[in-house]
Chain A
Amino acid sequence: MNLVESTWMALTALAANKGRSALTMLGVIIGVGAVIALVSTGKGAQMEVLSSLERMGTNLVFAIKALDVPAAQPLTMDDAGAVARLPYVETVVPQIGGFMKVTYQAESSTSNVFGTTPEYSWVHNADVALGRFITQADEDTAARVAVVGLQTADDLGTRNLLGRNIYISGLPFTVVGLLEPRGSTGFLNRDQMVLIPLSTAISRVTGDDSIYYLSARVTERDRIPDVQRSMGTLLRDRHRIGPDDQDDFLLMKQTDLQDMMGLVTNVFTALAGGIAAISLLVGGIGIMNIMLVSVTERTREIGIRKAIGARRRDILAQFLVESIILSLFGGILGIGFGVLLAWAAESVLRFHIGVTPSAVALAFAVSVGIGVFFGVYPAWRAGSQDPIDALRYE
């Protein structure tokens, strides 16, 4: 008996129990769909985070105060000035501030308020959609002006803020610019942000020059590790850290951040995919269950087929092909379901979620594998029936 005959027999048998076949397939459809949708969403989130890190600016080394060292001294403007004088450092952009409450009329937003320099705009790819960025004149006069991120504007109830006064720590600031959307890096939502002149932040908002976040832009990509090393030496020296003591600051290359976020998103993708795979497993068990019922119900048929000359392997093939067809069709429909789910997730999450051909191929292969794995035992039971007992079965 060849494969065409077995397939035809299997389709006939499955068609005789349409409702049951459809319900059995549903388990696989949901499982495959969930795997595809979740893995694709995870991958999409990863691409989004990584490209957002890329958009944050290139050739950067970051420094922040170490959070796990009790006596850590903050980075200061003098530190920033010293870093700026290191070889291969093109420019330095300090950010002073942190989470603060921003209000406009009755609305408020808890946003990252940072005092920074005009260089921030080109180093961190922050373009204004409306108005202008902070200028050197703002910096020189410690002007009370602010550039507002999109999410903060939405929190405050309107994007029509140019020329209006918003309040930060009780002080009025005139909005002079609205930033383009920039996305999130995973730890920092760069749309929920208010930027003010550095001098204003020091004199009016924080009261000191403790730097929250320092970015050093390196002239050439190949010099990034050198700059990281020389920044480390310089800051240890300036903070008078003994040879046996640990750094009271943390230096990170942009590539480190990308590696880290890549790892984090991979773990999340694997976790989500793993949970979805459990539903696929349950779907497979459903197939096995229904095939066992089917073998019992069709004992007499098996007996008749054996009596007229079917071998064990003919019967085995017939039932195995049935379970493979169930899981294969389930898999194909599940791919469609997964694509729909991914599409729905994309419209909710607003980043690109591509269903990759490799995910589809994998889902397809796994569903065939499930058909074989969960079909073998029922098929073996069918093939091993004794013909006389099977013929007598009522």
Chain B
Amino acid sequence: MPEPPVIDMRGISRVYRGEGVLVEALSDIDLRVDPGDFVAVMGPSGSGKSTLMHIIGCLDRPTSGTYHLMGEEVARLNGDALAHARLLSVGFVFQTFNLLPRLTALQNVELPMIYAGAKSRQRRERATTLLRAVGLENRTGHRPNQLSGGERQRVAIARALANDPKIILADEPTGNLDSRAGAEIVSLLEGLHSRGRTIILITHEAQVAEHARRVLTLSDGRIVGATGIVGAKGAEEATR
């Protein structure tokens, strides 16, 4: 029996209400992501990539449709319940890293565990392990402004893994990096995928997207294209 999908979206729309006009950022999106999948989402600016990412990541709620995350309906949850889903089910990696500047690399990685209520010693051990895994064991005491862009993004990846979420959501993770650092980050994400983590990667760079098992293309708030190695079934379903 196949495992249930980690993400199961049906008929998801997101409408913004701004100065008398309604803007439909996403319309009628169906998306199913199975455990261990690696999905890249592509599309031009304004295609709805970020909105989709926000809804997948429980930062935003859809205007209509249903969304099951890890089997749980989250489309209608309140703010604190969404925060709980963000805390344990998804890990974010942002284009601009979004580390807290006053905290050291170690403290930044510990932060999600603080909100999850982990004990201080446990936190430090796990954060140290995670930073070692991304090759930053000698940088644990550095603040973000003492780190290079690639190093910052590696701290962010370690932070995303802090509460051991099933899904990693990466929004243009290489967008602010040179090609070499970008390649390192992509290979880190591939490594995570190979060890069973589900990866959703938003990008507009084709050479980044080609590391994914399947690629969805968004335009004007709709999924207009789907390709993939294993993807025939997934693509059909995604474009259904």
Residues of A whose CB lies within 8 Å of any CB of B are: 1-2, 5, 12-13, 16, 300-301, 303-314, 387-388, 391
Q: Which of A2, A12, A314, A388 makes the CB contact (< 8 A) with B54?
A: A388
Known contacts A1-B117, A301-B100, A304-B98; A309/B83 CB under 8 A: yes
Contact between A391 and B115, CB atoms less than 8 A apart: no
Tell which of A12, A304, A309, A388 touches B60, judged by Cβ atoms closer than 8 Å.
A388
If the complex has contacts A12-B102, A16-B102, A388-B54, are A309 and B59 also in contact, measured as CB distance less than 8 A? no
- The docked-state distance in angstroms from the alpha carbon of A13 to that of B102 is 8
Query: Closest residue to A309 on the B side, CB-wise?
Result: B87
For the complex, what is the distance from the CA of A309 to the CA of B113, rounded to whole Å? 9
Q: Are A309 and B115 also in contact (CB < 8 A) when A12-B102, A304-B100, A388-B59 are?
A: yes
Residue of B nearest to A384 (CB): B79
Do A310 and B60 touch (CB < 8 A)?
no
Chain B minimum-CB-distance residue to A300: B98
A313 CB contacts on chain B under 8 angstroms: 80
User: CB-nearest residue of chain A relative to B112?
Assistant: A308
Give chain A residues whose Cβ lies under 8 Å from the Cβ of B67: none
CA distance A387 to B112 in the complex (A): 15
**Interface membership of chain B positions 106-131, coded 1 if the CB is closer than 8 angstroms to chain A and 0 otherwise:** 00000110111100000000000000
A312-B79 in contact given A301-B100, A307-B92 (Cβ < 8 Å) = yes
Give the Cβ gap from A381 to chain B, nearest Cβ, in Å.
Answer: 15
A308 to B102, CA, bound (A): 17
B86 at the interface (CB under 8 A from A): yes
Contact in complex: A391, B102 (CB < 8 Å): no
Across the interface, A5 reaches (CB within 8 A) one of B84, B94, B114, namely B114
Q: Are B87 and A308 in contact (CB under 8 A)?
A: yes
CB-defined contacts of A16 to chain B, threshold 8 Å: 102
The docked-state distance in angstroms from the alpha carbon of A102 to that of B180 is 101
Residues of chain B from 39 to 83 with CB closer than 8 A to chain A in the complex: 54, 57, 59-60, 79-80, 83
Q: Which residue of A lies closest to B57 (CB)?
A: A307
Residues of B within 8 A of A304 (CB): 98-100
CB of A174, distance to nearest CB on chain B (Å): 82
Query: B92: which of A308, A311, A312 is its contact (CB, 8 Å)?
Result: A308
> What's the nearest-Cβ distance from chain B to residue A41, in Å?
44
Interface class of chain A by DSSP: helix
Which residue in B59, B102, B116, B162 is a CB contact (below 8 Å) of A307?
B59
CB distance from A382 to the nearest CB of B (A): 13
Quote the shortest CB–CB distance from B222 to chain A (angstroms).
21
Residues of chain A with a CB closer than 8 A to B117's CB: 1-2
Decide: A309 near B84, CB < 8 A? Known: A304-B100, A387-B59.
yes
Q: Count the B residues whose beta carbon is within 8 Å of the partner chain — how many?
A: 26
Q: Could you say which of B80, B94, B111 contacts A312, with CB atoms under 8 Å apart?
A: B80
**Chain A minimum-CB-distance residue to B87:** A309
Within the complex, which residue of B83, B94, B159, B162 is in contact with A310, where a contact is CB–CB below 8 Å? B83
Specify which of A1, A13, A312 is in contact with B114 (CB 8 Å cutoff): A1
Bound-state CA distance A259–B89 (Å) is 71
Contact B102 A309 (CB under 8 A): no
Q: Which 3 A-B pairs have the closest CB atoms?
A: A309-B87, A311-B83, A311-B80
Which residue of chain B is the closest to A306 with respect to CB atoms?
Answer: B83
* B-side contacts of A303, CB under 8 Å: 98
Task: Report the minimum CB–CB distance from A11 to chain B (whole Å).
Answer: 12
- Contact residues in B for A301 (Cβ distance below 8 Å): 100
Task: Indicate whether B88 reaches chain A with its CB closer than 8 angstroms.
Answer: yes
Task: Indicate if B163 sits at the interface (CB-CB under 8 A).
Answer: yes
Would B98 and A391 count as touching, CB distance under 8 A?
A: yes
Would you give the shortest CB distance from B74 to chain A, in whole angstroms? Answer: 14
Contact (Cβ within 8 A) A309 B112: yes
Closest to A391 in B: B98
Distance between A346 CB and nearest chain B CB, rounded to angstroms: 45
> How far in angstroms is the closest Cβ of chain A from B120?
8
Chain B residue numbers with a CB within 8 Å of A391 are: 59, 94, 98
Chain A min CB distance to B88 (Å): 7
CB distance from B110 to the nearest CB of A (A): 10
Cα distance, A388 to B82, chains bound together (Å): 13
- Most chain B Cβ neighbours within 10 Å, of A5, A307, A312, A388: A307
In the complex, what distance in Å separates the CA atom of A327 from the CA atom of B80? 29
**Also in contact, A309 and B88, with CB within 8 A (given A301-B100, A387-B59, A388-B59):** yes
Contact of A308 among B54, B60, B159 (CB under 8 A): B159
Q: CB-nearest residue of chain A relative to B96?
A: A391
